[in-house]
Structure 1
Amino acid sequence: MAGRCYEFRVDGCLSPRAREAFCDMDVEEARPGVVLRGAVVDDAHLHGILEQLHLLGLTVVSARPVDR
């Protein structure tokens, strides 16, 4: 998938359900939270990821583009 790589840091831990929602992303435990990394194809996709994190009750600490 083309796009820019993003890193999302969230507080807490991901439930199995939340992990399934982000199966196309790398997930790394980084106490006290979790880091998700993956390709974001456009602004709509970025907003969709942020909305999914919100719907799962996760607090986004940061969301930033990173080098691959």
Structure 2
Amino acid sequence: MTGRHYEFRVDGALSARAREALCDMEVEEIRPGAVLRGDVLDDAHLHGILDQLRVLGLTIVSARPTSG
């Protein structure tokens, strides 16, 4: 995988801490959660983002590549 745009859907509102930690991602608040969009460089980066979402206490609903 080489540099793809991804969309991550999570349950619940993002805290200020989560917003700060994910500052390089575009955030769209939707009910009952949020959609985060951003570039993912490779598999290791993708897994790092997923781990970060979990550490922030967010429930990941989906993670998928998009056309950008």
TM-score band, normalised by the shorter chain? Answer: over 0.9
Under a length normalisation based on structure 2, what TM-score does the superposition of the two structures give? 0.95
Report whether the alignment pairs 1:27 with 2:27.
Answer: yes
Question: Could you report, residue by residue, the CA deviation over 1:16-64 in whole angstroms, capped at 9, with x for unpaired residues?
Answer: 1100111011000011110000000000000000000000110000000
Question: Moved runs in structure 1, 4+ residues, more than 6 A?
Answer: none
Gaps of 5+ in 1: none
Cα distance in 2 for residues equivalent to 1:45 and 1:30: 25
Q: Alignment RMSD, CA only?
A: 1.0
Report whether the alignment pairs 1:52 with 2:52.
Answer: yes
Identity of aligned residues (%): 75
Gaps of 5+ in 2: none
Q: Could you say what secondary structure the match of 1:48 adopts?
A: helix
Cα distance in 1 for residues equivalent to 2:20 and 2:45: 17
